[in-house]
Amino acid sequence: MQEKLQQEAAILDKLIPDLVKAFGNEGLEEIVTMDINFAYMPVLRQIYILKEPIMSELGKATGIQLSTLTRVVDKLVEKKVVVRRPDPSDRRVVRVSVTPRGSELVKKFEEARRRKIVSILKRLTADERKEALRIFQVLHQRICTEAQDEG
């Protein structure tokens, strides 16, 4: 059993970098046209998804340390794609939110990613897509459950 798992892990170890590259952000750099460092897009996207997170929520969602995250958010504020606002219920707490300009950028980026994913899925048969989605959903569920159990 252990040997079989090791063999399967070795196969996945070879496949994962190509899959990450195929499904990743490579080739989407041209979408970021507003002089924003492409590396900041995951943070901008997460702020967009979370609506108005506080920095600790954003740090937890992105896995980025608060000191680094603060610098990234500073740059996003500078580029006018994010704003900081005091929390109405506790003025000591600062929330960050995406501006209309930032929202438009996230939407363009997500549309481009979606087109990229569709181009990958088109290479599969309907049955293969169904099976691939099932496997990804199982993996996602197990990984997220494990992360919740640890956190």
Quickly list DSSP for 26-66. Answer: TT-GGG--SS--GGGHHHHHHHHHHSS-BHHHHHHHHT--H
Q: What average pLDDT does range 73-91 have in this prediction?
A: 94
Query: Residue 80 — left, alpha, or beta (φ > 0 → left; ψ -120 to 50 → alpha)?
Result: left
State how far the Cα of 105 lies from the Cα of 111, in Å rounded to an integer: 10
- Find the helix packing angle between 2-23 and 100-121, rounded to 10°: 120
Q: Is the dihedral of CA 18, 48, 136, 120 positive or negative?
A: negative
| pLDDT at 30 (0 to 100) | 65
Is residue 146 scored above 80 in pLDDT? Answer: no
Is residue 81 scored above 80 in pLDDT? Answer: yes
CATH number of residue 53's parent domain: 1.10.10.10
pLDDT digits over 5-58, tens only? 999 999 999 998 888 888 776 666 666 665 678 889 899 999 999 999 999 999
Tokens in use for 75? Answer: 């740059």
What is the DSSP secondary structure assignment for residue 93, as one 8-state letter?
E
State how far the Cα of 148 lies from the Cα of 151, in Å rounded to an integer: 5
- Residue 28 has phi, psi (to 5 degrees) of -100, 0
Segments forming the whole domain that contains residue 97: 2-150
Q: Residues 58, 69: contact at Cβ < 8 Å?
A: yes
Is residue 83 scored above 70 in pLDDT? Answer: yes
| pLDDT at 33 (0 to 100) | 60
Number of domains in the chain: 1
One-letter amino acid of 64: I
pLDDT digits over 85-122, tens only? 999 999 899 999 999 999 999 998 888 889 889 999 99
| pLDDT at 51 (0 to 100) | 94
